[in-house]
A and B are shown apart, each in its own frame.
Chain A
């Protein structure tokens, strides 16, 4: 264990928070500044979007916002790596470490999806959530870096936790998109979207996008659960023991399996699918928060209830 590295790690996390703050401001600026005051009804055949929104004016702000997001994510990664160096093991042994890694996974999932889809409208939300997560982590959940108890020393554990955190980031992203779907759906039902939401892709694209994310992550989640079972078998002598954490991992798995069936075999789309997606994602969040903090199983390594 090395305290210097732990301090460097903390500085990285603080710096990442600062950078994400700027990214958040840049995103906010981008959205706010793009709104053009409606000019006296010169109703040509220009679309509403072009008339009231002008993203050319804020293209630079948008680019800066994304660049800051990439930088912040990189600095956060450095913070996680240094935390690992200070502790002498992969830094996933308490809730502080889970949280900063989760925030990292969330922003990486966004940045990766950004390469393929035009998701910049999500940036405001993503930078804010990452900021919130990091803030909570460093103020409420912080624990000193420490070595691992013997049961946690295992390659399978590293694999299990890494994949679980990646899955978490993607589950959340899918939830955010499903949430956006439901939100916009309400507007479109009675009329038009609000001006600021015009750039968000069509409902159909959102619907498809959250499905793609889940279809991508479901096998990974299955793998993560199995990796956890392999680890549990070597550490505790049983691969499945219905410990609360395992139970909720199973419930999450079932919920997403139901979601996939509802889509593929029953043909659910749109609103119902979005609700199901959000429900499934909440079981994951519940597992993370409830079982880590208040649970009593073998998995409560949050370091909070000592």
Chain B
């Protein structure tokens, strides 16, 4: 047996056309949609860098080999991974390729007359017939007009149609999905997202160097940052005295924007807006203000040091590094806004406000490792090459002396973490979302139906057909026949 499979000779353009038709078929779109749903799953199970970088690091420590493989498939960055992007870009193209032609078609259909009355009306979903009367067609025309049907009048019949809103709504919905996708991609290409910790009294200037972390969209450049400054005048956190749960956070700020000075308030659910940039209150904590002196009394360091909260009562940890002291010294410290002792944990905080603040620390001297080139957390200190000089604790105004110097707790101020986000696409996404819902409603509840009437010498025939078996056609038929007979 020598059978050759006949493969038709495909030219390049034919091939392209074939691929395009495949891609823009609804089946492909639905498969892509389903793949997007499935593809989203791993990101909800495996920790994501964008959501929880610390969990990712822990995962790497716990499962080194597995993590390497995960990383190879971008499973720690699912939603920005090449394969996930590929799915939604293909879906995007597929949607466009399938919805645009349908829109054009629909546009023509809407302006065309309804199709010719078919010959056999008695095969339709609804059918009625009775003795003819003269003016049935005229009466029917009136009824169709009143009910806003589009009609096609022929010699002995009328073909009427209504419910184009269903298809319009449907197209509107699918086009809105495209708009949402545009909004999302626009936002990530031209966007900006960063965070900055600002102490009370400090000023944040919107330039890249002011940020603690900053990620720019692929097509965003440094110079796109809008020029504003924010000074934190005061921060207020209110807590429930019984449960310690935060009730309200308010940051009072002074703002300059394009030379205009203003006083503003930022709350958790009400960000500050500068054009398409918004500033959110994300987190807060305390910065103890300390003075570190050398043995001779000269000041080696003075200022607020940001501490990182560890629990709901704002027990915070931090490190005070003074490499320029005559004896280079560092403090591994924890700060407790309302101090108490617990038998198993030592010093703890029992309330998030500054009721009885205390700074606990251990003192270390030696190489702080700041010049080693290895990036260090500002909140922690590597004490492997250092010598312990003892433990201490301070209330506000107190000074602690150690061999080689002294440290004073001058006061405590709150800090806030501002999140600064620029998203120029979200307006599109919102409009897309709203119009998607409207389109959906029209598409799901719209009823497309046709009604025909034919008058012959002896008989009137009325018939009706609805798409998708939508209910209500029967009532409409009844109304029409009553009108014709009455």
Seen from chain A, the residues whose Cβ lies within 8 Å of a Cβ on chain B are 1, 144, 146-151, 153-154, 215, 218-219, 222-223, 226, 229-231, 233-244, 247-248, 250-251, 254-255, 257-258, 261, 264-265, 291, 295-298
Contact = CB atoms under 8 A, between A and B. Distances in A.
B51 A243 contact: yes
Given A150-B249, A250-B37, A237 B280 contact: yes
28 contacts: A146-B243, A147-B240, A147-B247, A150-B247, A153-B268, A215-B444, A218-B440, A219-B437, A219-B441, A226-B434, A233-B426, A234-B269, A236-B282, A237-B280, A238-B193, A238-B423, A239-B430, A240-B184, A242-B44, A243-B51, A244-B45, A250-B37, A251-B40, A254-B36, A261-B26, A261-B30, A296-B52, A298-B51
Contacts of A231: 269
Contacts of B271: 234, 237
A234 B45 CA distance: 26
A168 B285 CA distance: 38
Contacts of A291: 44
B50 interface: yes
A150 B433 contact: no
Interface in B199-231: none
Contacts of A219: 437, 440-441, 444
A59 B217 CA distance: 67
Contact of B278 (A144, A153, A237, A247): A237
A247 B243 contact: no
B156 interface: no
The 5 closest A-B pairs by CB, nearest first: A254-B37, A150-B268, A244-B44, A247-B44, A237-B280
B51 A242 contact: yes
Contacts of B267: 150
B183 to A, nearest CB: 9
A63 B26 CA distance: 48
Contacts of A258: 30, 33-34, 37
B22 interface: no
B48 A1 contact: no
B78 interface: yes
Contacts of B444: 215, 218-219
B419 A237 contact: yes
Contact of A238 (B40, B245, B247, B421): B421
Chain B CB within 10 A, most for which of A223, A239, A248, A255: A239
A217 to B, nearest CB: 10
B382 interface: no
A296 B55 contact: yes
A251 B51 CA distance: 18
Contacts of A151: 268-269
Contact of B248 (A150, A234, A248): A150
B246 interface: yes
A142 B26 CA distance: 47
A147 B44 contact: no
B242 interface: yes
A265 B50 CA distance: 37
B23 interface: no
B468 interface: yes
A234 B270 contact: yes
A169 to B, nearest CB: 19
Contacts of B137: none
B114 interface: no
Contacts of A247: 40-41, 43-44
Contacts of B437: 219, 222-223, 226
A295 B36 CA distance: 21
A229 B436 CA distance: 14
Interface string B74-115: 000011000000000000000000000000000000000000
B37 A239 contact: no
Contacts of A248: 44
A153 B269 contact: yes
Contact of B26 (A150, A265, A296): A265
A237 B79 contact: no
Given A226-B434, A242-B79, A258-B37, 5 more contacts: A150-B246, A150-B268, A250-B40, A254-B36, A255-B37
B51 A239 contact: no
Contacts of A257: 33
A154 B282 CA distance: 16
A154 B51 contact: no
Interface string B237-259: 00010110111110000000000
